[in-house]
Amino acid sequence: MFKTRMFKMGVMKPTEQIKQTAKVSIKRTNLYMCLLLTIAAMIILCLPPGMVFAASSHSVQFVIDKNIYVVDSVVCVMDAAPYVHKGRTFVPVRYLAYGLGIPDSGVKWDSATKTITLCGDTKEVKLEIGQQIIVVNGKPGYMDVAPVIKNRRTYLPARFIGEAFGYSVSWNQATKTVAIAKSAPSLEDVENTNTSIQAVAAKVSKSVLFLEVYDSKGNPYNQGSCVAIDRNLVVTNYHVIDGGSSATIKGEEVSTSMIEGVIAYDIQNDLAILKVNVNLTPVELGDSSSLRAGDKVVAIGNPQGLVGTVSDGIISNVSRQLDGKQFLQFTAPVSPGSSGGGLFDINAKLIGITAASLMPGQAQNLNLAIPVNLLKPLIGAAATSNIIPLNQFFGPSYPQNQVAVQEVVDRLNSEMAERYSSFGVIRFKFAVFDEGPSEYDYNVIALIEPSDYITWLKIYSTERISIMRQLGGFLNLVTNGGLFRLGVFYCDYWPVYPAYFDPNEVSLCENGMWFVTHLIGYTYSDQENYYWNARP
């Protein structure tokens, strides 16, 4: 029987043999597909709740070392498997694009420059093999890994691509699965309210007063704003009163009245509580810890002595960290003279004391306020404190000489604004950074030209460090031994959430854009030497 079968197979007609071979091939393929789909189903069933997303919220999942991926709960097969390298999941570009809804026509390859371009409906993402730079709609970002070619296939880091197209990316260690889902922050999270900006201003503007400080000869020395927090107490920034001998307040319901003295202060958080001799209408304190990016806010102050100036905006960052200090970052425009003013939520509760603008006149989105929760302990201390007349108050001094600092900044802008590198010129814009009391005599901030940031990313780390060393050396020379500090930032607006940056460096804007303030270098001095460093 066995020999007969072998003989019959041997004399089979060629056409019949081809048909039989095709049947076997199809059976094997179907078996392979069934096996993959079975594995995929098992993987999906094993995923924890929330890891498989409904089709109404577009998602894709890739499993390490498996030739499958899941798009909106539909299992698909691919001919190459994702893998992990340096803690990042790499996925073949074609299948990553499919998973994100990008058609073949939206995936472009330039063999001359080894550049991959992914084109979505509103976003264009460019990457180069071996380069840790991602460019989204012309905006560069830094990745901690680079695209690679492996086994004649181009692999991209899933996290950075997913986030570039507005997805959130999560990793499940138990199932070795990376999940990419549409859940990036948006303005839809902003809480709706029927309370008008005008209603907030009408309720609290009488509680925000103009504060003028005088020197020992009675000449105007400084001016700012203050907020009534009790019948006879106001709060302002410490740096507004520092060095003054007397002060007065004036408001909508208050004629010019003298400040009796300082009753409590916190130099670290730039706060001072003053005692006044008139009855005021205090504001209601809010809770700054409950704020979210996108919350509506109203800023009230007295820029240039204009009492009761009102502007509105949103909270763009709830925990901006600068020099070890915590701030709220908001978009409502403020001007010089607004220091010590009030930042209010939509329910007319005080949530912050306006303090600084990182780059006055350069970026309206860089306005800062001290969270009201940092003020609350000081209010408690004020209840048991004695009044110290301003002319007898010798708290820690605020050393920065603004005139001298401006002269240094002018020299920086004229002599150090352009630095040369192996990839071209890198341009900077310098300005005085007035954040309140500081241990430094010269506080300076710089912004790199946004279009030059990609050059900053391309140059070697030694070149970046060299540029910061040059800036530190220049400051050490022109400040004549004074203590200085310079921070250099990349600041720009992004149409998509720039997930490549620290969340603390990303702020939400009213128009739906995202604003980045990323520290790329610094230099500072102490009594003996100066120091510098740089990063991408």
Q: Residue 481's pLDDT is what?
A: 80
Q: Which residue would you say has higher pLDDT here, 198 or 27? A: 198
> Cβ(485)–Cβ(440) under 8 Å?
yes
What does the pLDDT look like over 27-52, one tens digit per residue?
Answer: 444 555 555 455 544 444 444 333 33
Confidence of residue 12 (pLDDT cuts 50, 70, 90): very low
Backbone angles phi, psi at 130, to 5 degrees: 85, -5
Q: How far apart are CA 487 and CA 492, in angstroms?
A: 16
Compute the residue count for the chain.
536
Per cent of the chain over pLDDT 70 is 81
SS3 label, residue 385:
coil
pLDDT of residue 391: 82
Angstrom distances, CA of residue 504 to CA of 122, 317, 360, 508, 515: 26, 7, 21, 11, 11
Q: For residue 311, what pLDDT is reported? A: 86
Contact 387, 261 (CB under 8 A): yes
Q: What is the pLDDT of residues 458-499, one digit of tens each?
A: 999 999 999 999 999 999 999 888 899 999 999 998 887 888
DSSP string for 421-466 = ETTEEEEEEEEE---SS-S-SEEEEEEE-GGGHHHHHHS-HHHHHH
DSSP state of 10: H
Judged against a pLDDT cut of 80, whether residue 385 lies above it is answered with no
Contact 331, 509 (CB under 8 A): yes
Half-sphere exposure in the Cβ direction for 337 (13 Å, CA): 14
- Residue 332 pLDDT greater than 90, yes or no: no
Is residue 378 scored above 80 in pLDDT?
yes
What does the pLDDT look like over 19-28, one tens digit per residue? Answer: 443 444 444 4
Cβ pair 505, 150 in contact under 8 A: no
Higher pLDDT, 313 or 437: 313
Give the model's pLDDT for residue 161.
Answer: 93
- The answer for residues whose C-beta is within 8 angstroms of residue 194's C-beta and 6 or more apart is none
Task: Output 481 or 347, whichever has higher pLDDT.
Answer: 347
Lowest-pLDDT range, 143-147, 197-201, 347-351, 434-438?
434-438
* CA–CA distance, 388 with 395 (Å, rounded to integer): 10
Nearest CA to 176 among 90, 78, 62, 270?
62
Bridge partners of 444?
432, 486
For 190, the token pair is: 């902003």
Average pLDDT, the chain: 82
Q: If pLDDT is split at 50, 70 and 90, which confidence band does 305 have? A: low
* pLDDT tens-place string over residues 246-262: 999 998 888 888 999 99
Instruction: Please provide the DSSP assignment of 327-371 as one string.
Output: EEEE-S---TT-TT-EEEETTSEEEEEEEEESSTTT-TT-EEEEE
For residue 275, the model assigns a pLDDT of 94
Mean pLDDT confidence for 295-310: 81
pLDDT greater at residue 225 or residue 302: 225
| pLDDT at position 182 | 76
Distance of alpha carbon 257 from alpha carbon 389, whole angstroms: 14
| Arithmetic mean of pLDDT, 145-172 | 91
